[in-house]
């Protein structure tokens, strides 16, 4: 299965960035129709506009897909999370 981890970088003015990293085991990727290339295309095409897709990287036991969400203040952060 896939696993998602997040990291929040919050500045004093409450602006910041939230990093989302989705990790996929090699066995799970093999079951995808079209493989990792199709997954990368689908993620890039269907990502919510609140997120920036940084691509998929090969890892030791599979792949990781990285997304970032930048925000100017806490109100924008909450709005983007609820989208």
H or E stretch at 71: strand 62-71
Backbone angles phi, psi at 75, to 5 degrees: -60, -45
What's 57's DSSP letter? E
Q: Encode pLDDT of 25-48 as tens digits.
A: 888 887 888 888 888 999 999 999
d(CA 71, CA 14): 8
Averaged confidence pLDDT in the chain:
93
Q: Encode pLDDT of 66-78 as tens digits.
A: 999 999 999 999 9
Give the number of C-alpha atoms closer than 13 A to the C-alpha of residue 13, restricted to the C-beta side: 5
């Amino acid at each position: 299965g896939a696993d998602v981890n997040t990291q929040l970088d919050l500045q004093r003015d409450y602006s910041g960035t939230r990093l989302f990293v989705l990790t996929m085991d090699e066995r799970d990727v093999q079951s995808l129709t079209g493989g990792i290339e199709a997954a990368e295309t689908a993620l890039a095409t269907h990502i919510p506009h609140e997120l920036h897709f940084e691509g998929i990287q090969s890892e030791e036991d599979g792949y990781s897909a990285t997304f970032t969400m930048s925000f100017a203040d806490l109100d924008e952060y909450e709005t983007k999370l609820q989208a």
